[in-house]
């Protein structure tokens, strides 16, 4: 362990190439990454890809089934569903990323405090986590979103506010593990301050599990946001968030099945992509991590 300090550079290089080798071998992970890149490109180039204005209402074409003109059909106000699904990817990615930022910031700060300083701070934060875990996250997110009122930013806040607990636990565990390691003891003995230890030694060592956790957390955030929208507490009409599209199509499911079903495939594809990628990253970084996350 002692020479880890000296050889960390070459070791990390070796780690990197091993990571890539393992990652590239995992076909599902590559497939997942491809899906996500596809969704991101769709979101960025939505105005170029969408055949129609997603808000354009054509009252002569209400609830038309998929056709050459409208590959995904039209909705109850005659809007082109394909264009709406394309634009919807923006909301889904925004929610996923927004929530993850909140969760990562809140979770890291609280997890760090708990893990690094221990003692009373640790007890208080961990009790808070226990309390939060006693209330189903979705139930609490619903109640908060209801209190704040709908809208995409409130959805992000509501889900972020309840989602940090597992992340804080993870960070705390990692900090504890690293803090006890010999090289941190050594650094401390050499007189390094808290800030230096955290920024130079602890934070870089935590990047791997954090990235894996984030990748695996995004799909949950997406699913929760879609659920909130579906229940009418998320993104408001007429914005074409996928969960809201499904909620809208639900009234017509027995004779216009395409409105509710097609956006569901879009959600599933995105979530699947992140799950494949997350699994792949985890296996490639450290096969043994599987059990901790």
Residues that bind another protein (CB under 8 A): 55-57, 59, 62-63, 76-78, 127-128, 130-140, 142-144, 146-150, 219, 223, 226-227, 230-233, 236-238, 243, 246, 250-255, 257, 260-261, 264, 267-268, 271-272, 275-276, 290
If the CB atoms of residues 14 and 290 are measured against another protein, the closer one turns out to be 290
If the CB atoms of residues 136 and 204 are measured against another protein, the closer one turns out to be 136
Nearest-approach distance from CB 226 to another protein, in angstroms:
5
Could you tell me the two tokens for 93? 């990615």
If the CB atoms of residues 164 and 230 are measured against another protein, the closer one turns out to be 230
Judge contact between 155 and 95, C-beta under 8 A: yes
Nearest-approach distance from CB 222 to another protein, in angstroms:
9
Nearest-approach distance from CB 169 to another protein, in angstroms:
11
Nearest-approach distance from CB 43 to another protein, in angstroms:
19
If the CB atoms of residues 112 and 276 are measured against another protein, the closer one turns out to be 276
Chain position carrying tokens 């808290």:
194
If the CB atoms of residues 214 and 245 are measured against another protein, the closer one turns out to be 245
Nearest-approach distance from CB 40 to another protein, in angstroms:
18
If the CB atoms of residues 138 and 186 are measured against another protein, the closer one turns out to be 138
Nearest-approach distance from CB 210 to another protein, in angstroms:
20
């Amino acid at each position: 362990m002692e020479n880890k300090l000296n050889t960390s550079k070459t070791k990390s290089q070796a780690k990197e190439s091993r990571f890539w080798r393992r990652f590239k071998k995992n076909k599902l992970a590559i497939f997942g990454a491809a899906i996500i890149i596809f969704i991101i490109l769709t979101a960025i180039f939505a105005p170029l890809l969408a055949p129609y204005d997603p808000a354009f209402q054509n009252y002569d074409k209400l609830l038309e089934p998929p056709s050459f003109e409208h590959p995904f059909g039209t909705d109850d106000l005659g809007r082109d569903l394909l264009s709406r699904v394309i634009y919807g990817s923006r909301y889904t990615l925004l929610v996923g990323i927004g929530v993850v930022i909140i969760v990562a910031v809140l979770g890291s700060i609280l997890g760090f405090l708990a893990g690094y300083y221990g003692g009373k701070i640790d007890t208080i934060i961990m009790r808070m986590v226990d309390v939060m875990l006693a209330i189903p996250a979705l139930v609490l997110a619903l109640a908060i979103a209801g209190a704040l009122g709908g809208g995409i930013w409130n959805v992000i806040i509501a889900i972020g506010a309840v989602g940090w607990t597992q992340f804080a636990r993870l960070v705390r565990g990692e900090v504890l593990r690293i803090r006890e390691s010999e090289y941190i003891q050594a650094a401390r003995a050499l007189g390094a301050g808290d800030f230096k230890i955290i920024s130079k030694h602890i934070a870089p060592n935590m990047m791997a599990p954090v990235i894996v956790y984030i990748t695996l957390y995004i799909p949950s955030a997406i699913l929760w946001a879609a659920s909130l929208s579906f229940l009418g507490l998320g993104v408001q009409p007429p914005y074409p968030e996928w969960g809201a599209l499904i909620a809208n199509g639900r009234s017509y499911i027995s004779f216009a099945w395409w409105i509710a079903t097609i956006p569901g495939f879009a959600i599933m594809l995105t979530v699947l992509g992140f799950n494949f990628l997350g699994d792949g990253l985890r296996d490639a970084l450290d096969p043994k991590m599987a059990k901790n996350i």
